[in-house]
Structure 1
Amino acid sequence: MTVDPRAPIVQVMARLGRETQLHLDERHRHFKMTDKVILVISVLLVMLACVNVYYVTVLYQDLNGIVDNMDSMYRNLSRVDRDMDLIAQRVQRFDRHIQRMTPITANIEAMTAVMPNLRGNMQNMQATITDVDINMQQMTSAMGGIAQQMHQMTGGMSVMRANVHQISGPMGAINPMLPN
């Protein structure tokens, strides 16, 4: 039997053809798997984008609510500030009326000399009026401090309001692009 010299070359070429086909089949299978992974990741990214758009919409609405609440709080604190100023003025006026009672106590002392039986009651009244005068002076100074603190709170609220407006500004620019 004679061996055909082309037989080994044909066998090598056949084996190369089979190996190449196996490699192509494996590569095709990997491409299909990669395509499926890319599709799944794309779907997840689209879902994540939808959730992010929803959260941005909710955040925008919440920031609008916060700004509205801050505006309302600012208006209410301004009203309270005006009321506290009015109360402080009335307390000062009342304090001036109490200070006018000091000459009255001097006149009452003169009356005690005339009416010895009322002396004990009048001395108690003088001490009480002095205590009331001291208490009213303390109350006047406390009301001034309260009015000053209310002014400071109103200033702080206006700064907070401006800061929240600055934060919500970019959100207002994004809002026309967001779905309702």
Structure 2
Amino acid sequence: MVAEDVRRLVISTVGRLGRETQLHLDERYRHFWVTNLLIIIISILLIVVAIFNVYYIRVLYQDLNVIVFNMDSMHTHLRVVKGSMDEITHRVESFDRHMANMDEINRHTSSMSDSLPRIANAMRDMSGEVHAIRNEMAVLQGSMISIDQRVVHMIGGVASMRENVHQIARPMGVMNPFLP
């Protein structure tokens, strides 16, 4: 009887071990299935994100090219504006030199005041206006020089920005052949 009890005990133990092993295998299979499903879902999400990233890189590259073109255009237009400002400054200086001759005309007119008092009075009035115009021209000349200097500074800034945008866009140009 003891041998039979031992035998039953061994058989029941082996049976329990078999059932536990099968339960463990079933649970393990279920966990592997869930893990594989998660891996597939995450892979699909990563593919979608990669597609959007490639699209955004392409859009960024195109936008940077537009910015570089606009910077080049702005730089060219600022050079034209600088040339126009230089010409205006030279004309104001020339006009100021001509205005300096008005003092001499005023002196000659004053010498005629003995015989022509009415003309002398008119010339005195004109002298004040000429001085006012001359002062305004001096202010205008200073303003033009200031504007000229500011345009030169703007051209330098635009040239620097253009170079920086070229440097930013250069890596995008390398990646462009790989993009759809």
> What TM-score comes out, normalization by structure 2 length?
0.95
Whether the aligned pair in 2 keeps the contact of 1:88 and 1:144 (CA below 8 Å) is: yes
Pairwise CA RMSD of aligned residues?
A: 1.2
In structure 2, the partner of 1:8 is: 9
Letter in 1 for 2:52: V
1:78 aligns with 2:90: no
- Distance of 1:117 and 1:24 partners within structure 2: 126
| CA shift digits 1:109-132 (9 cap, x unpaired) | 123322223443222111111111
Letter in 2 for 1:92: E
- Which shifted more, 4-13 or 68-77? 4-13
In structure 1, the partner of 2:67 is: 66
Percent identity of the aligned residues? 46
Letter in 2 for 1:42: S
Gaps of 5+ in 2: none
In structure 2, the partner of 1:40 is: 41
- Which shifted more, 32-41 or 119-128? 119-128
- Distance of 2:118 and 2:10 partners within structure 1: 148
- Distance of 2:32 and 2:76 partners within structure 1: 65
Gaps of 5+ in 1: none
Runs of 4+ off more than 4 Å: none
Aligned length: 178
> What TM-score comes out, normalization by structure 1 length?
0.95
| CA shift digits 1:131-170 (9 cap, x unpaired) | 1111111211221121121111111111111111111111
- Distance of 1:101 and 1:132 partners within structure 2: 11
In structure 1, the partner of 2:100 is: 99
1:173 aligns with 2:163: no
- Distance of 2:142 and 2:42 partners within structure 1: 69
Secondary structure class of the residue paired with 1:100: helix
- Distance of 1:171 and 1:117 partners within structure 2: 79
Whether the aligned pair in 2 keeps the contact of 1:112 and 1:122 (CA below 8 Å) is: no
